[in-house]
Each structure stands twice: as structure tokens, then as C-alpha cells.
Structure 1
Amino acid sequence: MRIVIAEDLLLLREGLQRVLSELDCTVVAAVEDADQLLAALDRERPDLAIVDIRLPPAYRDEGLRAAIEARRRRPGMPILILSQYIEQAYVRELLADAGGGIGYLLKDRVSDVAEFLAALHTVAAGGTVLDPEVVSGLLSRLGRAEVRKVLTPREHQVLGSMARGLSNSAIAAELVITERAVNKYINRIFSKLGLPPADDANRRVLAVLRYLDAGGGRG
């Protein structure tokens, strides 16, 4: 897998390169700001970009803006965002084009090599991965959301697992149910959320968007 990294902290940037090389990934560019990121993506056409949300010069959301611009230039460009903090508004904005190939992880997840590698492959394959802590925060908000009147507690669990990027088989293992049962729950979720028949991967992303809309901005 060919990867571009955008991270302003030298030690973290070099650390990511070492971890990725041990995972048999090739870092084709490692840059420190948004302009360099866009140039590297245009030049290298990598399989995946790993991007810090906050990059120079203002350290606000330059990385996010560059990621969105990269996906405008190359629709579906796989982007894995790393952040020091849980910033749910950024998650919603990242998923807005419903194209898949998006991940949002807290930086300390990198220390769990197996989890990090799984996230890389999921995003590179066009899937969606959300940090478990982000999902947990959304679940707590969903307790007071209107969507709770629509979905059963088990359907909430399945949708939360989908938001974390788990496959149907992984959801079945986590919830100790059959994969056939998972398929039924997912189809019910699609139906209750008013998602019309379409590409399954796209509908999963749209379901996560509804999930975020239900939980976001409610205190």
C-alpha cells in the first residue's frame, strides 16, 4: 500500500513512517503542511493519505480542508484523519460526500498496531472507520435523539458497529449473533432511516451520516 503522510510534528511523522514500514506499507511522501499534502497527492496518486487535522500555519483545520479538497479533485480518495481530540463536527464534514474511504482515529490508536492496520485496509478499500471514542460519544447523545424512537436497542448496537467500520462478520462476532441476523438488522436500519436501494457500501455511509446527524449538536 502506497501512503502519503501529512503531520507537522517531526517525531510523530517519523514514528508513523517506521510503523508503516513494519506493516509492509510504502510511504511515498511525508509532509508537514496542507499545500505540500495536496502537491504530494497530485504527484504520487497514493492508495491512502494519513492526515493530521491541524496543520500549519494556523493549526486549526488545514488538514481537514486539504483532505476535502483532495477528494474534490479525486473523488473517493481514501483519507485516514488522525486527531489528538474528538471533534465530531469534523467527522460529519468528512463524510458529507457519502463516498466512503474515510477514517477518523485518535492518534493514540496508532500504538495498537493490529487495530491501526485494520483501519488502514478498511479505508483504503473504500470503507468507513470511526474511532470507538467518537462512537461512544455519539451513542450517549443518541439516548436523547429522535432516532431512538425509530431504532431498537439492538439496531443501535449494529449501527454503532457499522460506524466503527466493522464488517458484517465482525459485527456478528462482537454481538454474538449470526451473520444472517446482522444482515437482517442492517436491512431494517436502511429501511427505517429511509435509505433507498443502492450500492451497499454507499448505504452504509449514508446510515452513518444519519447516525451522526441524530447525535451531533445535541447536549
Structure 2
Amino acid sequence: MTVRIVVAEDSLLVREGIGRLLDSQPDFEVVALCADLPELLAAVPEQEPDVVVTDVRMPPTNTDEGIQAATQLRTTHPSVGVVVLSQYAEPGYATPLLAAGSGGRAYLLKERVSDPAQLASAVRTVVAGGSVIDPVVVEALVADSRQARPTPMDALSPREREVLAGIAEGKSNAAVAAGLFLSERAVEKHINALFGKLGLAPERDVNRRVMAVLLYLSDR
């Protein structure tokens, strides 16, 4: 079976180079070369490709058009695979690409294009419903997920955070209350609530206000 491919890349030289590289494979046929997102979205229903190979950034905005195309095609042409090529090992691109599932999607760094076998393999994997994520991108995703792990501070309400911010500034309950237009009683309730959410149970030798401030500062 011949794999029909649409290539989208705003650089003429890169676009032509990728097209020729893919056309050199005996089972591939490049059916359209596109320079921007509108051309790409028009070519898919016209050419009915099996796979789209697209740059992550293209006109009209040069931001994330490749990701936009992949997202839209999941709805309009779910059988079409997408291989995104990027210069950036950026979780901000890879995460939305894979948000609805990794099947039929690939994210490769452009440097991999210098090895025709890697790009061809990615295209074949995507056609078969699999996925390919560049190892460098995987490392970036893992690092990003570690940074995004929840902390005790995530449990606090916006008002409790405001109260704790006041405490961190060295304010008394009365001063915090005045700054937030609350009663001292309300501030005390918020403080007791945030102590509980932060797991700061009453202990004789532990100043809970100090511990709460330390948690607040470590989260910034």
C-alpha cells in the first residue's frame, strides 16, 4: 500500500527537502506541499492523505500551527496521522499534541530529519496507529511533570493564600485583617483552616505560623 503524505513547512528549501526525502521511499507518495496552516487544512480533504508531516510553527502566526492542525484533524479526519517536526523540545507543544491520545501522532526534533530512516520509520509507525516521541522531548516532559507535582499549598483557597501572604510579611492578625478588610475573627478562622490543610497540627515546640510561612516561601 502506498502511503499518501502531505508536507507542511514554511521554509521552501526545507519543504522541498522533506518532500524529496519522503518521495525517495518506495512506499511513500507526497501528494501536496504546503507553506502555511490554511494550505494544509485545505489539502487534507482534497488529497485524502494517510499522514501529515508538519512543522510546529508556520504562518499565519508562527506560533503552534502544527499543533492546531493535529488537534483539528482528530475531529475532522481522525484516520489521518500527524508527524510534528520542531526545533524545540518543548512540553508546551508536545503536551497538547498528545492530550487526546498519542495514537497516530509523532513529535520529532528537526535534527532527526537528517536521518531519512528515522523520519520514514515515524511515518510508518503513525500510519499503523502508533506513536513516536523524540527521546529528548520525553526527557523534557518528565522534567516538566516533576515540576508540576502538587504541593500542600495547592489545597489553600485564594483567601487563605492572601492571609498567609500577610503572615509571611510579618503582619499580625489585626494587620492582616485590616489589609484584607476582614474581621480578626475571620482571619483567625482562615489561619486555623490553612494550618489544617498544610498538615500543621498543634505541637508544643513548633511555631505553626513559622512553619506555614516556610511552606509558603518554598512554593514561590
Query: What TM-score do the two structures reach when normalised by structure 2?
Result: 0.62
> Aligned with 2:99: secondary structure?
helix
Whether contact under 8 Å (2:7, 2:32) holds in the other structure is yes
Name the SS of the counterpart of 1:97 in structure 2: coil
Identity %: 46
Query: Shift in Å at residue 133 of structure 1?
Result: 0.7
Instruction: Report the alpha carbon displacement of residue 118 of structure 1 after superposing the two structures with TM.
Output: 1.3
The match for 2:152 is none
Letter of the 1:33 counterpart: D
Matches within 5 A, 1:3-152: 3-24=5-26, 25-98=28-101, 100-141=103-144
CA shift, 1:139, in A, is 3.9
5+ residue gaps in structure 2? 150-220
User: How many Å separate the matches in 2 of 1:138 and 1:59?
Assistant: 22
* Paired residue type of 1:125: A
Could you tell me which amino acid in structure 2 is paired with residue 116 of structure 1? Answer: L
Q: Which amino acid is the alignment partner of residue 35 of structure 2?
A: E
2:53 aligned partner, one-letter code: I
For residues 54 and 143 of structure 1, do their structure 2 counterparts lie closer, same or farther at Cα, with a shift above 3 Å needed? Answer: closer
> What is the Cα deviation at residue 145 of structure 1?
7.4
User: Which digits, 9 at most, give the CA deviation of each residue in 1:191-216, with x for residues without a partner?
Assistant: xxxxxxxxxxxxxxxxxxxxxxxxxx
Corresponding letter in the other structure for 2:127 = A
Contact 1:21–1:27 (CA<8 Å) still a contact in 2? yes
Higher mean alpha-carbon deviation, 68-77 vs 105-114, is at 68-77
Aligned residues: 147
Root mean square deviation of aligned Cα? 1.9
Deviation at 1:126, TM superposition (A): 0.7
- Distance in 1 (CA, whole Å) between partners of 2:139 and 2:127 is 24
Which has the bigger relative contact order, CA under 8 A and spacing at least 6? Answer: 1
TM-score by length of 1: 0.62
Q: What are the ranges of 5 or more consecutive residues in structure 1 without an aligned counterpart?
A: 147-219
Are the structure 2 counterparts of residues 62 and 73 from structure 1 closer, same or farther at C-alpha, using a change threshold of 3 Å?
Answer: same
The one-letter code matched in structure 2 to 1:13 is: R
